Amino acid sequence: MGFRADFNSQYSLLEVLGKGNFGVVWLAASRHDPSHQVAVKILPKVREDKSREETLACIKREVALWGSLSGDSRYVAQLLGLYEDGGSVYLVQQRCYGDLATAMQSGPLSEPCAAAIMWCVLSAIRDCHDHHLAMVDVKPQNFLLTSPPLALPAAEARAEAAASVEAGAPPSAKAGAKEGAGARREAAQCACPVPLLLAPEHQAAHTAAHGPCVVACDFGCSLSYSELMRGGRHGGSPIFFAPEQFSSSYGLGVDVWAAGVMLYLLLSGRYPFWDCKREDIKPGMKPYEVGGGVGGCWWGPRTWMWYVNVPH
């Protein structure tokens, strides 16, 4: 493939960070500077469902798409090096701290936390689209935390904190009440694995100074604009599919739909469409019948109305 063959002289593998459908991600350290840690995605050159030539073509394609973004977008995990040996390919990337899906296993996130995360998610999507590339597989599993996550609270602690906020009030409704504002800040902070910044200008300034709180990864399902025009492929996760992805062609807008599903999941802890089978999801996409309502999540119906204009 033309990649470097000296991985073992450059890095030492430390521990497994995660396993995917096609490879294993390791934490590794530079042999020249052990304090410099990276993540290494190790992909076999042969898969059970593909020939060696097809597997290598898929890897080359993903690396090309990822490489076209890495360096140009700070909202994409940085690709630091490419190595190979007789049986595997080693993709060296910036060290991250788990994916967003793992970080939110304790339950839904607060609105400020979801806002900080979605700023980065939508910025990553924007940068992909600026490169005439559709991510196609936008979901929490494909966004990595750039710093160790804060501890998420137990459900009862989260519920107790949420109870201190006036039911159904918009975020600024009790700004004048010191006790209520403090409760909201505490509730938001204890339910968030990333730094909290509400105002867009503050989020932009923080990102410029410290980098994004999450970055996009895994471009195996991504499609260039020319591929979309030719009909594309139907990769990705059906629960995040836009309606047009069930037809023969679709465009860049599918990433925006998936981001909306992701926001719903972050705030409510559940999917808006419950059916897991691909053929059963599309019939569930009925106007204004999303997941049977938004009960059980942190945010009240009035706050929901601030985000979307749902007719009655």
Query: Tokens representing 139?
Result: 């979901």
Q: One-letter amino acid identity for 131?
A: H
Distance of CA 144 to the CA centre of its chain: 6
Q: Are 213 and 122 in contact (CB under 8 A)?
A: no
Establish whether 60 is an annotated binding residue. Answer: no
Report which of 37, 33, 34, 41 is spatially closest to residue 16, judged by C-alpha positions: 41
Q: In what order do the strands lie in the sheet with 37-44?
A: 11-19, 24-30, 37-44, 88-94, 79-84
Report which of 42, 45, 44 is spatially closest to residue 25, judged by C-alpha positions: 42
**What are the backbone dihedrals phi and psi of residue 227, each rounded to the nearest 5 degrees, phi first?**
-70, -35
d(CA 219, CA 147): 21
Torsion of CA 112, 118, 120, 121, to 10 degrees: 160
Could you tell me which residues are annotated as the binding site? 41
In the annotated binding site for ATP, the residues are 41
